[in-house]
Amino acid sequence: MSKEERSGREEILECQVMWEPDSKKNTQMDRFRAAVGAACGLALENYDDLYHWSVESYSDFWAEFWKFSGIIFSRTYDEVVDTSKGIADVPEWFKGSRLNYAENLLRHKENDRVALYVAREGKEEIVKVTFEELRRDVALFAAAMRKMGVKKGDRVVGYLPNSEHAVEAMLAAASIGAIWSSTSPDFGVNGVLDRFSQIQPKLIFSVEAVVYNGKEHNHMEKLQQVVKGLPDLKKVVVIPYVSSREKIDISKIPNSVFLDDFLASGPSEQAPQLEFEQLPFSHPLFIMFSSGTTGAPKCMVHSAGGTLIQHLKEHLLHSNMTSSDILLCYTTVGWMMWNWMVSLLATGAAMVLYDGSPLVPTPNVLWDLVDRIGITILVTGAKWLSVLEEKAMKPVETHSLQMLHTILSTGSPLKAQSYEYVYRCIKSSVLLGSISGGTDIISCFMGQNVSIPVYKGEIQARNLGMAVEAWNEEGKAVWGESGELVCTKPIPCQPTHFWNDEHGHKYRKAYFSKFPGVWTHGDYCRINPKTGGIVMLGRSGLLFPGAPPLGGMGVGGRCFLRRVILFLKMASGHLPSIRDAIRVGLSARQRAQPHPGTRAIPYTLNGKKVEVAVKQVISGKAVEQRSAFSNPEALDLYRDIPELQGF
């Protein structure tokens, strides 16, 4: 091992503790560990013991968690999973069981307890929806859906903001056994049709306009074009969101109806009763879409039971969530975090639905909600925390944050300096959890953990039941080194299949083409052998952690030079310091060659950087799915850069 490698490894191992769990607190993770130990005759001393048992005996683990979680079912299972099948076989989970996702989310009978807090940009009022009101509204939605002919397996979609209507429509569809899918109003017409046209929905919900960043954005023209491109639609339900219905013209939209009229069409009695179709564990619940930045979006089908049990595991065990919690997740309905958030209703906790900019009218808008409502768990993007740091915001000085005990960061890797910022400028006693997973599993491979310390710059741990490793190019697990993120054993939250992929070719190509029989997620990571923490390093289509060191390498008498390209959007005058940092930190032979500065970085509609698409552009390839980007014009800035010709 070279001096540089040894130094880097020591840096990995010497981690700074930022937060430690209260040893006196008996968490749900502790209770579950004790219950498993008693039931299975195991001595599980800590989380590490529990984790390794959960992946080595994954069938027993999921059976024990089924009991612990209290899932409502009408028929129990005959078999947890066939352990002779691998993850690439997509084995069926909890075969023989019958349940309903919506029934589990609407199980709590404390009628006057708040289930939803609804807040919107530009609105002072916070609307409260109790569990009783939520059940009543879902029953109305479901009755109207049944009346118009929605049945098990039909697709119901939302082109909606993050509002109570989205939650109610989704739960109503799930109660019937229909399949829900959604996109947010910031998607353009092509972006919506790229997704919804593949799944042929029968019913769509939408709004006439939204408010974002201080401006009203009319939605009707886009909706009209979307409806025109979806010939299988039987009904278009328009929800007056910004204006009253008297000011909204829906005459140009075929088969359209206002929400009030739609809901009134359903019940044959004044207050319809909720009915929950009892369905197999593997019955489709959601169709989720890939970003579509490198081709047509993949349509990932997620099961009702797999989604429910995985989300309950993360909420109950990893977050220690209880009915006293209130969670705000800054998300849109087009991101899997929305689905993840809504599942928390099964714990009896409440959620805050915020629709609007997180920076308008001030960057304190979310912190204001934390204090005003008494939010206990805040879920946000790593990018937002970076923006707050850049703006020198110090909520610790301007807000109480008394009830806040957890901040979760997602969407992109959380920088080490952001850990310092949160504990210095937001709240020193909070559990800061960086979480990572994706739409592909509609959940997390790794993330927050109430049982172990938080180390600066690291995701705390691999989650229970997730057999995650970092593999080198030879397909061997590596520790303390960069490697491909893989999952080696079956998980109930993997897609059951892709829509319109009859023989599974797209599915196998997406996850199992690199290492046969092993799920390859498309990310590089590094697992710290000392702490068990994980550092995410980026998309594996861009990084080459197993390649030779930077410099020249001879192959067959020829010499190839590896080029590492770093695009930085920065203030003027910093190029000399960047050059010096590369020379000192890497090698004097590595030089930063100047070229015109990066004026913009392209992002998806969910705020993620799109490195793969940039690589395509500078390689001279076309990027067809430009509708998947929030700022597609930024891609053109990377075209025909003289310094990159022949890349």
User: Tokens for 151?
Assistant: 């049945």
Amino acid occupying residue 169 = A
The predicted pLDDT at position 32 comes to 98
As to burial, measured by CB atoms within 10 angstroms (0-12 exposed, 13-18 middle, 19+ buried), residue 589 is exposed
284 contact partners, CB below 8 Å, separation of at least 6: 153, 179, 301, 302, 303, 304, 496
Of 52, 44, 57, 50, the residue nearest 468 (C-alpha) = 52
Of 414, 432, 413, 436, the residue nearest 424 (C-alpha) = 432
Under DSSP, is residue 180 helix (H, G, I), strand (E, B) or coil?
A: strand
Under DSSP, is residue 373 helix (H, G, I), strand (E, B) or coil?
A: helix
The predicted pLDDT at position 561 comes to 37
The upper half-sphere exposure of residue 388, i.e. CA atoms within 13 Å in the direction of its Cβ, equals: 28
Q: Are 172 and 221 in contact, with CB atoms under 8 Å apart?
A: no
Cα 536 from Cα 543, distance rounded (Å): 12
- Residues 264-295 as b/e (b if ≥16 CB within 10 A, e otherwise) read eebbeeeebebebbebbbbbbbbbbbbbbbbe
Tell me which H or E stretch contains 134: helix 131-147
Cα 315 from Cα 322, distance rounded (Å): 9
The predicted pLDDT at position 535 comes to 96
Residues paired with residue 211 on neighbouring β-strands, in sequence order: 216
Instruction: Give the C-alpha distances (Å, rounded to integers) separating 218 from 212, 346, 528, 634.
Output: 11, 35, 49, 24
Cα distance between the two ends of the chain: 32
Cα 185 from Cα 359, distance rounded (Å): 18
Under DSSP, is residue 19 helix (H, G, I), strand (E, B) or coil?
A: strand
Q: Are 524 and 482 in contact, with CB atoms under 8 Å apart?
A: yes
Residues in the chain: 647
Q: Where are the alpha helices (DSSP H) in 415-500?
A: 416-425
User: Tokens for 600?
Assistant: 């913009």
Express the helix, strand and coil content of the chain in percent, nearest 5 each.
Answer: 35, 20, 45
For the entire predicted model, the pTM comes to 0.86
The predicted pLDDT at position 455 comes to 98
Q: Are 256 and 250 in contact, with CB atoms under 8 Å apart?
A: yes
Q: Which residue has the tokens 């915020």?
A: 354
User: Tokens for 67?
Assistant: 């009991």
The predicted pLDDT at position 580 comes to 65
**Four-residue CA torsion sign, 383, 384, 385, 387:** positive
Q: Are 40 and 22 in contact, with CB atoms under 8 Å apart?
A: no
Cα 454 from Cα 225, distance rounded (Å): 48
pLDDT beneath 70, residues of the chain: 1-14, 294, 541-565, 579-597, 605-608, 615-616, 618-622, 624-625, 627-628, 642-647
DSSP state of 356: S
Instruction: Give the C-alpha distances (Å, rounded to integers) separating 453 from 521, 597, 625.
Output: 26, 40, 42
Of 352, 386, 391, the residue nearest 371 (C-alpha) = 352
DSSP state of 123: -
Of 567, 528, 573, 337, the residue nearest 416 (C-alpha) = 528
Residues paired with residue 212 on neighbouring β-strands, in sequence order: 215
The upper half-sphere exposure of residue 148, i.e. CA atoms within 13 Å in the direction of its Cβ, equals: 27
342 contact partners, CB below 8 Å, separation of at least 6: 105, 167, 170, 171, 351
Of 136, 196, 203, the residue nearest 173 (C-alpha) = 203
Cα 128 from Cα 164, distance rounded (Å): 10
Cα 347 from Cα 318, distance rounded (Å): 13
